[in-house]
C-alpha cells in the first residue's frame, strides 16, 4: 500500500478544519451543482526549493473556496466570513498561503482562489 501523499494530508486537514458540512474536492474537477460550501484543491506547479534544490520541493496549489449562494450580496457576506476564518484555522507548519483573489466559479458562483504552497521532500513527505 502506498504512503499518503502531501495532497492527501492537505485534503485531510481541510476536512478536519472545515467539518462535514463543507465538500472538499481533492482534484480539479467539474462540479454539476453546488448545494453547500465547497473547496477544490488544484495542484499547479512543482519546483525545487531554491534554498535546498537537492533536498526539498515546493508544490504550489490553488485552494478554490466556492460559496453556493448565487445572490451576490449573500455570496460576498459568506466569503467574507468563511475564507479568512478557514485560512486562520489552517495552521500546519508545512503549508503557507500567499494571496487570495475573488473569482467567478462556473457561471454563477463567487469564489476565492487562494494561492498556497507546501514544502516537501522528493519522497512527498511533510
Per-residue pLDDT tens, the chain, 126 aa: give them.
Answer: 567 788 999 999 999 999 999 999 999 888 877 889 999 999 999 988 877 666 788 899 999 999 999 999 999 999 999 999 999 998 877 889 999 999 999 888 999 999 999 988 766 554
- Give the residue from 26, 29, 57 showing the smallest Cα distance to 124: 57
> What are the cell numbers at 123?
519522497
Upper half-sphere CA count for residue 96 (Cβ side, 13 Å): 5
What gap in Å lies between CA 4 and CA 124, rounded to an integer?
A: 9
Q: Give the SS3 label for residue 50.
A: coil
What pTM was computed for the model? 0.89
Q: Which residues of 67-103 are buried (b: 16+ CB within 10 A; e: fewer)?
A: bbbeeeeebeebbeebbeebbeebeeeebeeeebeee
Q: For the domain bounded by 6-120, which CATH number is listed? A: 3.30.2000.10
- Give the residue from 32, 12, 36 showing the smallest Cα distance to 23: 36
Amino acid at each position: 500500500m502506498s504512503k499518503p501523499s502531501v495532497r492527501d494530508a492537505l485534503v485531510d486537514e481541510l476536512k478536519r478544519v472545515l467539518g462535514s458540512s463543507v465538500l472538499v474536492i481533492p482534484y480539479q474537477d467539474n462540479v454539476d451543482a453546488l448545494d453547500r460550501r465547497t473547496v477544490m484543491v488544484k495542484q499547479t506547479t512543482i519546483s525545487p526549493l531554491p534554498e535546498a534544490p537537492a533536498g526539498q520541493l515546493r508544490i504550489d496549489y490553488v485552494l478554490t473556496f466556492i460559496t453556493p449562494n448565487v445572490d451576490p450580496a449573500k455570496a460576498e457576506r459568506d466569503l467574507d466570513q468563511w475564507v479568512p476564518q478557514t485560512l486562520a484555522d489552517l495552521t500546519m507548519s508545512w503549508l503557507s498561503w500567499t494571496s487570495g483573489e475573488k473569482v467567478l466559479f462556473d457561471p454563477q458562483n463567487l469564489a476565492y482562489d487562494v494561492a498556497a504552497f507546501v514544502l516537501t521532500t522528493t519522497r512527498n513527505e511533510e
